[in-house]
Amino acid sequence: MRSVDDLIAEGVSGRRVLVRTDLNVPLDHTTASPVITDDGRIRASLPTLQALRDAGARVVVAAHLGRPKGAPDPQFSLAPVAARLGELLGTTVPLAADVAGDDARAKVAALADGDVVLLENVRFEAAETSKDDAERGELADRLAGLADAYVDDAFGAVHRKHASVYDVARRLPRHAGRLVAAELDVLRRLTSDPERPYVVVLGGSKVSDKLAVIEALLPKVDKLLVGGGMCFTFLKAQGHEVGRSLLEADQVDTCRRLLDEAGDRIVLPVDVVCAPEFSADAPTTTVDVEAIPADQLGLDVGPRTVELFAREIAAARTVFWNGPMGVFELAPFAEGTRGVADAVSHVEGLSVVGGGDSAAAVRQLGLDEAAYGHISTGGGASLEYLEGRELPGLAVLTD
């Protein structure tokens, strides 16, 4: 796999370099103009973009935002992203009015050495996510026509066989960006020979979303700590009643099998924070998992669970955490995630925050990002890598 630094060493001054980045940031649309609420992914793209600028490249940035339906949609425009990217780079970053059409070609043609242009949301073209190779190929041809070389720095999208991730890479000299290289280095450390004890913390809402990674990791880890909404299906499998908590009834037998096979390594909550409704104003009670009221929902792990999980994490030399412990967006149900996040930040070894909601929680709760060994920008991609699946965006770079 050739790197962006290999490309720079060859000489990129005056050359057009198409960089696929992951700028899929959350936006607040309740204000007059959309406001970026977390610019972490934009900041993560800066090392590769700045290195290319410093080397004199003419940088063409491609990215997606949200899930538009394959056509232009103002609420998914990258306009606020272009403005913030320009602020962080200390330069003006114009936004093309289209993905790879007349305006994109004109703005790319106008670039000087060290300049940057951002193409409009690649998902405004239905071909970007098409299952049809020919449709993706037509868009990839137009994108490739904008550049002399390609760099993939969108780790959060490498598990997608999309035109701007997979097909363009087959049409241009291809390289991995610094962010992709850093993510791969960490994931290889987690999968090849992790320093032990190795503890994985999984949260989130559904067991079905994490089942493949649970199956893949259980033979490799010393402890698997399970929180979030998914824990209630495991608790049900243990024989506990879970009230109105999130439950995947069709996964109970699977969870029971996992507990039978590896119950000595699976650590479940011992108490939970309950409420009668999903609301920041709802009255809360903390109960043992054996005593969840029939009319209540479990919305966070309790303080004794945080202490239990923190002890396991403190004893570890390698920790991978993916998924919040509760509904951290609501203050009454944020302490479980805060407690686990704090414990992970003090690991004396490799600590990895597996992207997605976990990374968002670190920022939203005001925790120090520098305290973690690595905060991934791609939750889904990280999990698929740990499952052992081939990721198209990485496979094409190594071809």
Nearest to 117 by CA among 248, 21, 32, 30: 21
Place of tokens 């029939």: 294
Name residues whose C-beta falls within 8 Å of residue 83's C-beta, 6 or more positions apart in sequence: 93
128: tokens are 């970007």
Q: Give the amino acid at 154.
A: A
User: What angle do helix axes 379-387 and 356-364 make, rounded to 10 degrees?
Assistant: 140
Say which of 137, 336, 356, 393 is annotated catalytic. 356
Distance CA 320, CA 352 (A): 5
Per DSSP, the residues of 100-141 read: SSHHHHHHHHT--TT-EEE---GGGSGGGG-S-HHHHHHHHH
Of the listed 15, 16, 20, 41, which one is catalytic? 41
Beta-bridge mates of residue 229: none
Cβ neighbours for 327, distance < 8 A, ≥ 6 positions apart: 278, 299, 300, 333, 334
43, 105, 206, 265: the active-site residue: 206
41 is a catalytic site residue:
yes
How far apart, in whole angstroms, are the C-alpha atoms of residue 166 and residue 171?
A: 9
Question: Which residues, 6+ apart, have CB-to-CB distance to 336 below 8 Å?
Answer: 227, 273, 300, 301, 302, 305, 306, 324, 325, 326, 328
Q: Output the six-digit token pair for 9.
A: 């060493």
Cα–Cα distance list, 181 to 5, 33, 178, 186 (Å): 11, 35, 5, 9
Per the CB < 8 A criterion, the answer to whether 171 and 140 are in contact is: yes
User: Which tokens go with 27?
Assistant: 């936006």
> Which residue numbers are catalytic?
41, 206, 356, 380
